[in-house]
Chains A and B, each alone.
Chain A
């Protein structure tokens, strides 16, 4: 059973990332705060007696469900479904060598020729914006897998899809980000 301190430390460690994830999904700071609060309370009410090791996955699942509930309440589910379908056709017709780009982008991210004038904060902002532009499922898979550091099986369980789908979403998200950032001149 997680102690109060463990629960507190866990919530403190995920709250900002959770808020950012909710902002990416709903694009509204206040609504995102409500979603995170709702998620924290649901976790505390129903799963506070679970071991601390189980909290991250439970939290991510509750956060996803709370976000979906928000969309349901807003009656914009059709918009989400449209976003979901966007990734189906994306990524397959890239006409440049993505591997080459990825290799170029693999190191620490900096600005290319305009490195002197573009600050680190601006680069972070650009990355933030590009992540926000990803199709919903790709973004969710990418963030759960690489930001929340869940493994493929945990990400699949959290998203309610197969492990193969997670790999596909992640790969497409990486390629889309690489392409977009290269276009903005952010590279090694």
Chain B
């Protein structure tokens, strides 16, 4: 029991000594770090200012009021800005939809024209094979005789 107490005491004492020594070294490092070359200090200042500028840009882009390119202020929605993305693809969606509708309309027109021709041919008294007969073709081309 006493041995356990003694060893834990020794460990704690050892930790305390290590910690004290380490903090002494750290203090020396801090002192040493304060004396950096002027050009290094200048570059660090430049880096800091650049980072702050970037942080400002990020904050501005996340601010609650967004202003569109035309100058109109749009309140409330800019938090997620999903609607801006949606608005930018809206014309493209309209264009694709329009093209699909035009294509569909053209296909339907062609089908109805072909159906009319078929209907006329099939509904006529004249058999279809007659149009393949060269003599009948000539007869059709010839001007009607009185």
**A interface residues (Cβ-Cβ under 8 A, vs B):** 4, 7-8, 11-12, 15-17, 19-20, 29, 33, 36-37, 40-41, 43-45, 48-49, 99, 102-103, 105-109, 123-125, 127-128, 131, 142-143, 145-147, 170-171, 173-175, 177-178
Contact = CB atoms under 8 A, between A and B. Distances in A.
A106 B33 CA distance: 21
Interface residues of B, number: 35
A173 B18 CA distance: 10
Interface of B: 14, 17-26, 28-34, 36, 40-41, 43-44, 46-48, 50-52, 54-56, 58-59, 62
A124 B30 CA distance: 10
25 contacts: A4-B52, A11-B48, A11-B51, A15-B48, A16-B36, A19-B36, A37-B43, A37-B50, A41-B47, A41-B50, A44-B55, A48-B58, A49-B58, A49-B59, A99-B17, A102-B17, A102-B21, A105-B21, A124-B31, A127-B29, A131-B25, A146-B25, A146-B26, A147-B29, A174-B25
A15 B58 CA distance: 21
Given A124-B32, A171-B18, A41 B54 contact: yes
B13 to A, nearest CB: 8
Given A105-B21, A128-B29, A40 B43 contact: no
B51 A44 contact: yes
Contacts, number: 121
A40 B52 CA distance: 8
A42 to B, nearest CB: 9
Given A7-B55, A11-B52, A177-B25, A125 B32 contact: yes
Q: Is the interface of A mostly helix, strand, loop or mixed?
A: helix
B44 A33 contact: yes
